[in-house]
Structure 1
Amino acid sequence: MVNLQTVKSHNASLKSLGSGLVAVFVGGTSGISLSTALAFARHTTSPKIYLIGRSQSAADTAIASIKTINPSAQSTFLQSDISLLKNVDTTCTEILAKEKRLNLLFMTPGYFTLKGRDETAEGLDRKFSLHYYARMRFIANLLPLLTAAAQDSSASAGFRLSRVVTVLDPHGSVRAGGSGSLDYSDLSLKNSFSSSKCAAHATLMNDLYLEAMAQRHPLTSFVHTYPSVVSTGVMRELWFGHAFSVLLKTLFRPFMVPLEESGERHLFAATSRRFPAKAEAEEVEGDVEIGSDGIKGDGCYWVNWNDEVFPANNRLEKTRAEGGVEKVVQHTDEVFKQVCEEGKSCP
């Protein structure tokens, strides 16, 4: 475990990166994303913060909190239902029109449901879209700004922050005895959907797509984190969600990560030089973590709640060896082409 004091000391040093860092928090009006946004505001100078979500009232409260923490912060709320990829594109277009660079893309959108496949107008399951397709679409659209941040010659402290963080579970597909495999005949689960299969596919496809992005875009680092048990609004769409959340808090309180600590730890994962981009790994002084593919400093990292990287897993290694990365990227590119460029439903 990375000691919490080490985490806080690192975060307190972020002011050395200079003023005007730009960050986008998808799902940023509540939970871990908001907690991380507040930590980002607390530890940086004159940051520009974009919060993306559905609730204007939640955004107003979040922005007021940011202003209280750091009056120099510029906060912008972009209201959008990003379960639809067309709305992701619209939101990204707004950001691209306003910014020349992006230092951090931080994503947590999603929810818990028992209702089964809930198909959107674009032919994708809503939960699957939030946990996977929408997140990867944000990456694809905003990579030019992330690359610009990585090439920013004016960056202070010799460190050009360019990072993507997706919060879900790098080992979700093998947790509790899962197979760590994908159904390549139905990656979008159009014909074989179940809640457990959706969770496994979404987590593993996050893993593999980020690995590909780290190789294709070596100036940006990509981090997939597991938050452990944190008190958030993830169950808000269940009719019994509030009561169940109260019960879980009671039962698991000794094992829960406090929300503020989770924000500090996720800010560490989002900014620490332990998780460098592939192209800068050899230049980093100090500890550099092992990448998800087992190679030190390879640009993609699977990180536990305590800021330590996950150990290798044989089942995930097998999926990678059978061409899982390439198959997931090909499928995702095809979905983006059909849904976003041709306006057709996902196969």
Structure 2
Amino acid sequence: MVKLQAIRAHNASLKSLAPGLVGVFVGGTSGIALSTALAFARHASSPKIYLIGRSQSAADNAIASMKTINPSAQPTFLQTDISLLKNIDTVCAKITSKEKRLNLLFMTPGYMTMKGREETAEGLDRKFVLHYYARMRFVTNLLPLLSAAAQSEPNLSRVVSVLDPHVSVRVGGAGKLNFADLSLKDTFTLNTCGAHASLMGNFFLEGMAQRHVNTSFVHAYPSGVATGLMRDIPLVPLLIPVLKILLRPFMVPIEESGERHLFAATSERFPPKAHGEGSDVTVGSDGTKGSGCYWLSWDGQAFPQNAKLDRTRGEGAVEKVLQHTEEVFKQVCEEGKTYP
């Protein structure tokens, strides 16, 4: 475990960097993304912060908190529904028109539901989009800005996706992908959706680290954090006060979670592949030190190698996931079609 004291000391050192770091926080008006954005506002000098979400009132509260924490912070809210990929393209175009570089892309969008497949107008499942396709569309669209940041001081260029790199192997899970139906058009269940979103996020980011060696990519497991993720499940809001008391010993406080995720987003322990040397550099997801892609647990430590995930990688998962995702983006975003 990386001790919280060490994490806070690192985060405090961000003030020594040049002012004007730029961060985009997808899902940034609540939960872990907001707590991390607040930590970013607290520790960075005159940061530019873009919050992507649906609720104007939540954004107003978030922006007010940021300005209280750091009057020099420059927060902007971009309101949209990112369950549609075309909306992501519009938001990214707005960011690109305003910024020449991007230091941090931080993503936490999610959707807890007891329903089955909920197909959007673009032919994709809503939960699957929020947990996977939307995130990777942000990565694809904003890579030029991330690459530009990598070429300027302080060379911070990082993508962080918060979900769970190992959910597909927990409790004896197989850790496999259905390569014949990666979008789960014909084989959707909530369990397989969770596993596919996790695994595809793993291997897409691994592929990005190989292709874009000056940007680093992190897939982080947050552990239990009190957020609003389950608000759409019937009866759960009524149980939240009781659940908070019962689960408190097992939960990471929301402010600590923000500090820990800011560490994952800025620490030199997780460098891009082009700069993957140093005594404190972490072993990457493929077992190579400083590979540029890191699968992290809530405490800042890398997950150990897993034989099931290694076998899936050995089946060509990285290239197959990249190819599938590019095909989806081409059909939906470039050709305006539904998928498949």
Give the TM-score category using the shorter length.
Answer: over 0.9
In structure 2, the residue matched to 1:280 is 275
One-letter identity of the residue aligned with 2:77: F
Q: How much has 1:86 moved relative to structure 2?
A: 0.1
In structure 2, the residue matched to 1:208 is 203
1:99-141 deviations in Å (ceiling 9; x for gaps): 0000000000012100111110000000100000000000000
1:95 aligns with 2:95: yes
Q: State the distance in 1 between where 2:124 and 2:2 align.
A: 38
Aligned 8 A contact 1:29 1:52 in 2: yes
* Mapping 1:237-248, distance limit 5 Å: 237-248=232-243
* Mapping 1:233-312, distance limit 5 Å: 233-282=228-277, 284=278, 286-312=279-305
* Mapping 1:47-196, distance limit 5 Å: 47-152=47-152, 155=153, 159-196=154-191
In structure 2, the residue matched to 1:3 is 3
Q: Secondary structure at the match of 1:77?
A: strand
1:162-213 deviations in Å (ceiling 9; x for gaps): 0000000000111121110011111111111111110000001000000000
Q: State the distance in 2 between where 1:247 and 1:194 align.
A: 29
Q: In terms of mean alpha carbon deviation, does 61-70 or 183-192 score higher?
A: 183-192
1:191-236 deviations in Å (ceiling 9; x for gaps): 1111111000000100000000000000000000000000000011
1:342 aligns with 2:332: no
Q: State the distance in 2 between where 1:175 and 1:244 align.
A: 26
Q: How much has 1:239 moved relative to structure 2?
A: 2.1
Q: Secondary structure at the match of 2:50?
A: strand
Q: State the distance in 2 between where 1:220 and 1:16 align.
A: 21
CA RMSD of aligned residues (A): 0.8
One-letter identity of the residue aligned with 1:170: P
Q: State the distance in 2 between where 1:252 and 1:186 align.
A: 37
Q: Secondary structure at the match of 1:52?
A: strand
Q: Secondary structure at the match of 1:23?
A: strand
Q: How much has 1:247 moved relative to structure 2?
A: 3.6
Q: State the distance in 2 between where 1:84 and 1:73 align.
A: 30
Q: How much has 1:253 moved relative to structure 2?
A: 1.0
Q: Secondary structure at the match of 2:140?
A: helix
In structure 1, the residue matched to 2:29 is 29
Unaligned ranges ≥5, structure 1: none
1:333 aligns with 2:298: no
Q: State the distance in 2 between where 1:310 and 1:342 align.
A: 39
One-letter identity of the residue aligned with 2:33: S
One-letter identity of the residue aligned with 2:200: M
Q: How much has 1:18 moved relative to structure 2?
A: 1.3
How many residue pairs get aligned? The number is: 340
Q: State the distance in 2 between where 1:218 and 1:235 align.
A: 36
TM-score (norm 2): 0.99
1:261-308 deviations in Å (ceiling 9; x for gaps): 0000000000000000000123x5x40000000000000000000000
1:67-105 deviations in Å (ceiling 9; x for gaps): 000000000000000000000000000000000000000
1:22-44 deviations in Å (ceiling 9; x for gaps): 00000000000000000000000
Aligned 8 A contact 1:235 1:245 in 2: no
Q: State the distance in 2 between where 1:328 and 1:247 align.
A: 41
Structure 1 residue ranges (4+ consecutive) displaced by more than 4 angstroms after TM superposition: none
Fraction of identical pairs, as percent:
71
Q: Secondary structure at the match of 1:173?
A: helix
Q: How much has 1:248 moved relative to structure 2?
A: 2.9
